[in-house]
Amino acid sequence: MNIDVHDLLTLSEIPGIGPNRLRLLVSHFKDTRAVSEASAKELIAVEGIERKTALSVVNFYRDSGAALAKRHVDAQLSRLNKVDGRVITFWDKEYPANLKRIYDPPPFLFIRGSFLEIDNYSIAIVGTRTPSPYGTQLTERFSSELAKLGIPIISGLARGIDSSAHNAALRAGSRTVAIIGSGIDVVYPPENKHLLERVIQQGAVASEFVMGAKPDAGNFPRRNRIISGMALGTVIVETGIDGGAMITAATALDQNRDVFAIPSAISEKRKSGTNLLIKEGKAALAESVEDILTELGPRLKPLLKDKQKIEAEPPPDLTLFERRLYDALTDDPIHIDALADRAGLSTSDALVQLLSLEFKGAVKQMRGKNFVKV
């Protein structure tokens, strides 16, 4: 294959040439320049290319269309260079193998950072932009436990569940990949600028959308198919029945990938999408990471090296009073007053001990003076 990125991006500017036709043409001619030089008769010989499309390609290179497109591509590559980005094409070795196997893989991706072979063992974690403390805590737990096993985490860099999944993976020292619905030089949401930079250092940020593309609502369904397409399985955490994560679940199912859902409280009607997925048999119930490993174990075997269990880390050395509080905690958030009562301590004494436990990484404070065991 002789793939010139400039030629490829120019071809993508031809009216009527979408991602699928672009892949067909380049794969047939095995040379991006050969596509631009082909006759209408040669183009029509490509399966899936009809006469109208063939003439569109020929006329594009005959009139001023190609010249204008090339200037646009020059500007695109200049912007890409300024953020130290690259273009990875469908025919490159670095292109994710899992993504190649979906029915409509993008012919190229703009990327900051890099894809690695280990990304073929990724798990996607996605969900609502407005999670409850319960949803945030479970996202962090699942992402962290998977990351500690060396499994890369894929998400969409959005507010809420996505950001929590990326952050937990980063804290665990694992790879994480963000697939975004804008140009890779556009930070959205703006407050995730620092997170984006950290993801680039420890993984990759990628998009099929051109440099400078705004995060328009119509971009995200297409973005979601890449998230699920890169992953072995997708975990859904808290989403409404019409939420974006439900689209990701649907694309994963279309791609014949496993979908897992963490159940939401029945009182959380606005986040009942996960329960609906489980109820309709579209997603496997995920009460723990073990549920995911049981299902995906054979495909994760090369990465996990037959490891079937997550080895629970022993709590750090605790004092007598710290131990009383630690043992009184569970994975469910509990208010300081109830926790102090359960541990047989005054609220003021419990707060002092909890601060020490936080420094040791044994507990985490949630909103409203609620605490959970880490």
Domain interval for residue 326 = 320-373
- Compute the Cα dihedral for 218, 90, 155, 142 and give only its sign: positive
pLDDT of residue 370: 84
Q: Calculate the CA 374 to chain-centre distance.
A: 24
In-domain check, residue 56? yes
345 and 224 part of one domain: no
pTM: predicted TM-score of the whole model, two decimal places: 0.81
Name, in order, each residue with C-beta under 8 angstroms of 195's C-beta and a sequence gap of 6 or more. Answer: 157, 163, 166, 167
Number of neighbouring beta carbons within 10 Å of residue 55: 14
Q: Which of 269, 304, 339 is a domain's end point?
A: 304
Question: Are 155 and 124 within 8 A, CB to CB?
Answer: yes
For residues 286 and 283, give the distance between their C-alpha atoms in angstroms, rounded to a whole number. 9
Give the pair of three-digit tokens for residue 8.
């490829």
In this structure, of 86-90, 92-96, 195-199, 290-294, the range with the lowest mean pLDDT score is 290-294
pLDDT, tens only, 305-333: 644 444 445 566 788 888 888 888 876 77
pLDDT, tens only, 133-184: 989 999 999 999 999 999 999 999 999 999 999 999 999 999 999 999 999 9
Average pLDDT over residues 263-277: 83
287 and 247 part of one domain: yes
267 and 340 part of one domain: no
State yes or no: pLDDT of 107 exceeds 60.
yes
Give the pair of three-digit tokens for residue 239.
């989403």
For residues 274 and 280, give the distance between their C-alpha atoms in angstroms, rounded to a whole number. 10
For residues 351 and 124, give the distance between their C-alpha atoms in angstroms, rounded to a whole number. 36
152 and 255 part of one domain: yes
Question: Are 139 and 132 within 8 A, CB to CB?
Answer: no
Q: What mean pLDDT, rounded, does the chain reach? A: 90
pLDDT, tens only, 192-230: 999 999 999 999 999 999 999 999 999 999 999 999 999
Q: Calculate the CA 125 to chain-centre distance.
A: 7
Average pLDDT over residues 277-284: 94
In-domain check, residue 19? yes
